[in-house]
């Protein structure tokens, strides 16, 4: 499985043609305590860069953008009852949605983990 990051702090784990999307640990740290997450519905078609989800914290509400184009396979049902999963495990159980990737070449425009860490270090 390969993990890629966007400059907006989303990550996508790629396993074949399926991508699992969430926000980075850095992003959840900037947001603070997360109180609500609105994930996209199954079957929703997204283009890279589209608003896909909303995350609300005690500080602010933020849009989460799709790092790739495709069709949503599922939203993370656990986040409805436990949005704080994003705080405790942003890059694991706190994932937002799974997407069937329609254009794998879009992954070439994203950062790998090393490049993302260097990007965050400059912020």
Is the residue at 33 inside a domain?
A: yes
pLDDT digits (tens, 9 = 90+) for 73-119: 999 999 999 999 999 999 999 999 999 999 999 999 999 999 999 99
The model's confidence at residue 63, banded by pLDDT at 50, 70 and 90, is very high
Residue 54: CB atoms within 10 A of its CB come to 15
Is the distance from CB of 99 to CB of 73 less than 8 angstroms? yes
**Burial environment of residue 107 by CB neighbours within 10 A (0 to 12, 13 to 18, 19 or more):** middle
Q: Are strands 70-75 and 97-101 parallel, antiparallel or unpaired?
A: antiparallel
Report yes or no on 31 lying in a domain: yes
Range of the domain at 17: 2-104
**Number of domains into which the chain is organized:** 1
User: Is 6 part of any domain?
Assistant: yes
Q: Which CATH number covers residue 73? A: 2.40.50.100
pTM exceeds 0.95 for this model: yes
Q: Does some domain include residue 117?
A: no
- Residue 1 reports pLDDT greater than 90: no
């Amino acid at each position: 499985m390969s993990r890629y990051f966007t400059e907006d702090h989303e990550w996508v784990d790629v396993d074949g043609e399926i991508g699992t999307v969430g926000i980075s640990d850095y992003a959840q740290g900037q947001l603070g305590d997360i109180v609500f997450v609105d994930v996209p519905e199954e079957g929703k078609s997204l283009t890279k860069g589209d608003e896909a989800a909303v995350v609300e914290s005690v500080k602010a509400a933020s849009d989460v953008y799709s790092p790739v184009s495709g069709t949503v396979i599922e939203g993370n049902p656990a986040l409805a009852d436990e949005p704080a999963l994003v705080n405790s495990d942003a890059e694991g159980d706190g994932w937002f949605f799974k997407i069937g990737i329609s254009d794998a070449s879009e992954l070439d425009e994203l950062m790998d983990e090393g490049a993302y860490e260097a990007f965050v270090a400059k912020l």
